[in-house]
Structure 1
């Protein structure tokens, strides 16, 4: 096993839901006034690499209406614990006040991201 895989497996074992800020009653994302999508992954993760252009396009297409943040949890292990990440990629959808609305893991395409926002009450269009 590569050292990155060993480090990730150690991270997964160390991360417990009770360590996340949201489990402690706080939000790890400050309210920004607009909905916020946080994608937690790693630069060397294949599904994460596939999502990068999708996230970049969302950030550009909906600037000022939606914030998009990518966090590399292999480079920022404290962030993985802070967000309670157990698998990558993980996407967390926050409202404009920083309240977590929905969380999912695995690759997700643009249409599914926008459909999720719509189910959560936010209309961005395709």
Structure 2
């Protein structure tokens, strides 16, 4: 029972904290200034969003300041789960989490109890399912017998089944919910931070045919290494002003370009010569010295 609870915790954190990638269904409507979003008539104030944001480690906190929808999705999911738990008469007293010494509030405990009840109703993993996974990935188990890896396979399948069940539950709840976003307050949250600006496909086209060498970072505002690369590129842009162009392309906003240049890893930094021909590319973070070294090879001093 303890192991199943641990699996549930992993699934719950992944779905609630990040919103499980479920698209937010939002409708505009009248709101008071302190309310950020209402979920079936229940308001989430702006102050609560900031409280939740403060609990997140700094690197991801900065990311969520620019992409607040991810955190807001998770908060909406929590409200929906709590509402459904109460509707079904599920409750839990405030106390210790069963798997960690960390205190959890009553709402979180209620959501946990609700999901545990739902997960308990899922069908058990069968020996045939374990056998199928073992045979499919046998070469990756380094010669270990099925009996030795069966517990790991079963736990992985249980986690996957629970994740899928929770995602479907949340998707169903969102589909029938009335979720109304305060567009004005949300716009204040999602204002881009200095240095996070990206360029468009049109900007790329003009730079590629502009007659100057070009350095392009294909990345995303939601990618930590990409964000770490931004100040480096800003320094390069300033150091080589008038000699070459430096662009930052967000692949989530420019999917066509990402496909055209076969971007598989972000960040990917591509160097183009004066004629617009690609001469070099680097996958992953690239230091200022490495970038300058490549620029020198292009004949730019």
Structure 2 vs 1, CA of residues 75 and 121 (structure 1 numbering), >3 Å: closer, same or farther? closer
Give 1:60 shift: 1.8
SS in 2 for 1:75: coil
What do the CA deviations read for 1:73-105 (whole angstroms, capped 9, x no partner)?
022212211221111000110001101101110
Structure 2 vs 1, CA of residues 3 and 77 (structure 1 numbering), >3 Å: closer, same or farther? farther
Counterpart check, 1:3 vs 2:21? yes
SS in 2 for 1:71: strand
In structure 1, which of residues 95, 117, 126 is the aligned counterpart of residue 273 of structure 2? 95
Contact in 1 for aligned 2:217/2:269 (Cα 8 Å) = yes
Counterpart check, 1:122 vs 2:140? no
Give 1:121 shift: 3.5
Query: What is the alpha-carbon distance in structure 1 between the residues aligned to residue 286 and residue 251 of structure 2?
Result: 18
Give 1:122 shift: 2.0
Task: List aligned pairs for 1:7-26, cutoff 5 A.
Answer: none
Give 1:3 shift: 2.6
Tell me which residue corresponds to 1:16: none
Pick the structure with greater CA Rg: 2
Tell me which residue corresponds to 1:52: 230
Moved over 6 A (4+): none
Tell me which residue corresponds to 2:256: 78
Query: What is the alpha-carbon distance in structure 1 between the residues aligned to residue 255 and residue 286 of structure 2?
Result: 23
TM-score, normalization by structure 1: 0.71
SS in 2 for 1:98: coil
Structure with more helix by fraction: 2
In structure 1, which of residues 91, 102, 105 is the aligned counterpart of residue 283 of structure 2? 105
CA RMSD, 1 decimal: 1.9
User: Which consecutive unaligned segments of at least 5 residues does structure 1 have?
Assistant: 5-27
SS in 2 for 1:115: helix
Give 1:59 shift: 1.2
Structure with more strand by fraction: 1
Query: What is the alpha-carbon distance in structure 2 between the residues aligned to residue 95 and residue 51 of structure 1?
Result: 21
